[in-house]
Amino acid sequence: MTEKVIAAARRDPAAGALPYLLPHVNVPWVEGGVANPMDEALLADAAFPSGRPLSPSLRAWLAYDISLLERHKWFTPDGDFAPRPLDQLVGDEMGDFWGVQYPFEFAPVYKQLGPEPGQDGTPNGTATDRS
């Protein structure tokens, strides 16, 4: 799938990544119509803030272009992925109405739906950081 998106972006870099928002908002795949790949050394060491490895599809996209994610502040100044809680990420991407008005919906899932103490296979629910 990523290869198809990259091929489409190569054909028309200014095409909207979110066509359902057109004509109100255009979010082009590639900023300025010129792909900006992630530096090979950064990409080789790139991982999520949790330390988990990037998926092959995300690696492929970053090898092609980083401008879409840069525009939405997905990176720290040194090029690492910026750690953001889900409510901040949603607020940054979709506006404060969604990120600030509904913090419960975007709280860590274990805080909302986590098992009660003892229900996660540990004596006091410690696998979910609940006490």
- Tell whether the model's pLDDT for residue 27 goes beyond 50: yes
User: Domain check: are 18 and 68 in the same one?
Assistant: yes
User: Domain check: are 69 and 93 in the same one?
Assistant: no
The pLDDT, as a whole number, for residue 68 is 86
Give the pLDDT mean for 44-73: 91
The pLDDT, as a whole number, for residue 15 is 82
User: Domain check: are 25 and 43 in the same one?
Assistant: yes
The pLDDT, as a whole number, for residue 19 is 74
pLDDT in tens, 66-113: 998 888 888 888 888 888 777 777 777 777 766 666 555 555 554 555
Averaging pLDDT over each range in 21-25, 51-55, 68-72, 104-108, which range is the top one?
Answer: 51-55
Contact 130, 118 (CB under 8 A): no
> Going by C-beta distance under 8 Å and a sequence separation of 6 or more, which residues neighbour residue 50?
none
Query: Which residue range(s) make up the domain with 71?
Result: 2-83
Contact 117, 131 (CB under 8 A): yes
User: Domain check: are 23 and 10 in the same one?
Assistant: yes
